[in-house]
């Protein structure tokens, strides 16, 4: 049974606050109960801001099962499908069930140190680098098969939806969001007579595990980025990345929105 509660998760800039106020008024007019923040009993979360606001809302609230939708007051807005001028249409379409639900793939990252295992989830990507912007050397395995000894700035593993973010900026490919795959992209790989690294991204089946095993000199000198959040570890042994059993549910109001986004944001 519908709770009629709708969470509104907004960043602090002026345009977002103005948009959130307008959304509140429209929701109330249509019989909903807007909640400024996160209510676990809500039937929907609306993120107002840019893609960073969407990711922060999901991460901060521990990847909840209720569906999300985004109103874009930022720049790119791949997760934020709705424009502020479309709020009335959005609420009407939602009320009349004129939408589809798309499952967003989520990464599971297991970090193995000498004494502990740390677990993370990511919507966009995980990146393993050396600290202090040094070159990192690591062995890379896919399902325990040794693929290469990598040398360079780092290795990035992205979800399909995350392929248009940091991954794309480093030369990775754009992957359609419903595909069940991982993408592993090298960041400034070293290719010389001393070191040979794969220079292009690899598309890996979603059921596989990518293992990043840094050389011992990096066990206390490493940097892991999880959706942009930074973590450092002592006695780091390896980082395993695979697709999680978790999914984020996102409302889709147009089957063409993804291709429109590709054209509008990159061309």
Residues labelled catalytic? 51
Cα distance between residue 46 and residue 68, in whole Å: 6
Cα distance between residue 121 and residue 184, in whole Å: 16
First to last CA, the chain: 43
């Amino acid at each position: 049974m519908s709770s009629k509660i709708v969470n509104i998760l907004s960043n602090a800039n002026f345009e977002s606050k103005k948009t959130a106020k307008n959304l509140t008024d429209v929701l109330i007019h249509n019989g909903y109960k807007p909640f400024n923040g996160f209510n676990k009993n809500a039937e929907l979360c609306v993120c107002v801001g840019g893609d960073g606001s969407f990711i922060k809302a999901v991460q901060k609230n521990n990847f909840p099962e209720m569906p999300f939708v985004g109103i874009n007051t930022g720049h790119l807005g791949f997760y934020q499908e709705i424009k502020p001028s479309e709020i009335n249409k959005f609420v009407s379409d939602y009320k009349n069930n004129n939408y589809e639900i798309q499952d967003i793939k989520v990464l599971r990252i297991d970090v193995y140190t000498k004494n502990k295992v740390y677990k993370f989830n990511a919507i966009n990507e995980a990146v393993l680098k050396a600290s202090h912007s040094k070159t990192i050397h690591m062995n890379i395995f896919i399902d325990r098969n040794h693929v290469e000894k990598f040398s360079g700035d780092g290795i990035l593993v992205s979800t399909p939806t995350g392929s248009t973010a940091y991954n794309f900026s480093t030369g990775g490919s754009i992957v359609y969001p419903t595909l069940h795959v991982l993408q592993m992209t090298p960041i400034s790989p070293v290719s010389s007579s001393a070191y040979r690294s794969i220079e292009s991204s690899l598309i890996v089946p979603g059921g596989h595990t990518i293992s990043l095993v840094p050389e011992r000199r990096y066990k206390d000198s490493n940097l892991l980025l999880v959706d942009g959040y930074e973590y450092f570890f002592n006695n780091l042994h390896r980082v395993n990345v695979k697709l999680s059993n978790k999914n984020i549910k996102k409302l889709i109001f147009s089957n063409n929105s993804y291709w429109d986004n590709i054209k509008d944001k990159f061309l």
